[in-house]
Structure 1
Amino acid sequence: MKHTRIAALAAISLAAALSLTACSGDGTSNDSSAKGASTPSSAGSSSSSSSDSDAKSGSSDSGGSTANDSKPDSGGQKTQAGTGSANGTAKNSNKVTFCKTEDLAIDATDAAPDETSGRINITMVNRGSTTCSATGFAGVDVKDADHTSNPIERGPAQPRVTILKPGDAAIFDLAYTIDTTGNSLTSPTNILVTPPNETHTVSLDWPASAGQIKGAYTDVQVYPTHTTK
């Protein structure tokens, strides 16, 4: 009996020890699990915070980028947003149209420098309200007493830029050799003038004091316009 009681007590003590060991292992496992669970949570919180920071940073960059982005204008060139196209404005503001016949006061005068060099000056005054260009050669025909019209050829000269503000004048001339024999083959009565780059013509009287043309109308030349300043 005594031995049986001692064995029983020993068995109970062993069972108790095993129970405590098991409890200690479970606690360690649970603590580890708890720590493991808290680690992802902490990482998630950090990631979320980082994402919020990135989102704010991205929003700020987006705003700055919008203000400084370049965008193509209608001409395909890049301009800073909100500034417009300065080049287009400059081109439009500098554009000058050709003078219209209806805006020009035109007359012809004898300007021969001597008795052998015939010259007729034709003046065109800008009576319009805007600046215009009279650059180039005017179209000129001379009408004869026999009612024929004869085109005048261009002289050997290069056109000069001729810009007329309101009230300004341009001038061009007809040049020929004066016939002093009285045997001229021409009897001019009118000068038909079409300003450069125009289609409308005005008729001017041939100056009464101008000398007779030596030869034929093919010996007369017209020169390009220039300003009187």
Structure 2
Amino acid sequence: MKHTRTAALAALSLAAALSLTACGGDDSSSDSSAKGSSSSSSAGSSSGSDSKPESGSGSGSSEAGDTKSDAAKNTGSGAAAAKGATKTSGKVTFCKTEDLAIDAQDAAPDESTGRINVTMINRGSTTCSATGFAGVDIKDEDNTSNPIERGQAQPRITNLKPGDAAVFNLAYDIDSSGKSLASPTELQVTPPNETHTVNIKWPAGAGDIKGAYTDVQVYPTHTTK
């Protein structure tokens, strides 16, 4: 009888132990599920975070587009402003070739520096602008024409009332060796902002050009007053 009670107590102890083990397994499983849920939530949150830069990128593209659009508008308004400024200060139109009397003279200051002064007189009935660089080609005795490069100078406002004159200069070095290969016969002059050209004779007595025609430079117009 005593043996039977002892066996029964042992069985109860074993059952209790098994029950505790089972409970511990459930807790572990629950912890695992919670961790899995937490990991899944973190992954979802991370994925959502990754999607924000894409949205931001899209927003950035839109801002860049707006910036370009604004730049285009500014450029347009700048161009319009420039036109407005031209109209405001530009009631004076550019001188037409047909209204200008053009002549060239030797104006060398010494024996080594060549200079040609080209004078343009406004023979029109209204004030006009001769501001800028004239286009100049030198025609050689072999009938070839050579364009002249611009010198380093800033144009000055050159408005001409009827009868007023503007002058621009050609500058070069004089060849005193007697072996110059340049034989100029004419200047082909196109006034600033014009397309019509006039031919005038190379000034008598002007010194020989040293080097090539590309060594001659033209400077912007200025008034004689």
Q: TM-score range by the shorter chain?
A: 0.5 to 0.7
Measure the CA separation in 2 of the matches of 1:215 and 1:222.
16
Counting only pairs closer than 5 Å after superposition, residues 14-25 of structure 1 correspond to structure 2 as none
1 CA distance for matches of 2:132 and 2:89? Answer: 22
1:51-90 matches, within 5 Å, as: none
User: Paired residue for 2:205, among 198, 202, 209?
Assistant: 209
After TM superposition, give the deviation of residue 208 of structure 1 in Å. Answer: 1.4
Counterpart in the other structure of 1:46: none
Q: What is the number of equivalent residue pairs in this alignment?
A: 140
Structure 1: tracts of 5 or more residues without a match: 1-87
1:170 alignment partner AA = A
The alpha carbon displacement at 1:211 in A equals 0.4
- Mapped to 1, the partners of 2:131 and 2:181 lie a distance apart of 33
Q: 1:133: which partner in 2?
A: 129
Residue number in structure 2 paired with 1:145: 141
Report what 1:98 is aligned to.
Answer: 94
Deviation at 1:183, TM superposition (A): 1.1
* Letter matched to residue 134 of structure 2: A
**What TM-score does the superposition give when structure 1 sets the normalisation length?**
0.60
What is the one-letter code of the residue matched to 1:188?
A: P
One-letter identity of the residue aligned with 1:162: T
Q: Aligned equivalents of 2:117 and 2:160: distance in 1?
A: 17
Q: What is the CA-CA distance between 1:167 and the residue it aligns to? A: 0.4
Q: State the one-letter code of the partner of 1:108.
A: A
- Any idea what SS the aligned residue of 1:218 has? helix
Deviation at 1:112, TM superposition (A): 0.3
Q: State which of 178, 184, 197 in structure 2 corresponds to 1:182.
A: 178
Runs of 4+ in structure 1 off by over 4 angstroms are: 91-94
Query: Which one has the largest radius of gyration?
Result: 1
1:172 to 145, 168, 192: 168
Q: Distance in 2 between the 1:149 and 1:207 partners?
A: 17
Partner in structure 1 of residue 108 of structure 2: 112
For residue 217 of structure 2, what is the aligned residue in structure 1? Answer: 221
TM-score, scaled relative to structure 2:
0.61
Q: Structure 2 CA distance, aligned partners of 1:168 and 1:128?
A: 10
State which of 141, 150, 161 in structure 2 corresponds to 1:154.
150
The structure that is helix-richer by fraction is 2
Instruction: Please give the secondary structure, in 1, of the residue aligned with 2:179.
Output: coil
Unaligned residue ranges in structure 2 (runs of 5+):
1-83
- Distance in 1, Cα, partners of 2:102 & 2:157: 19
Letter in 1 for 2:204: A
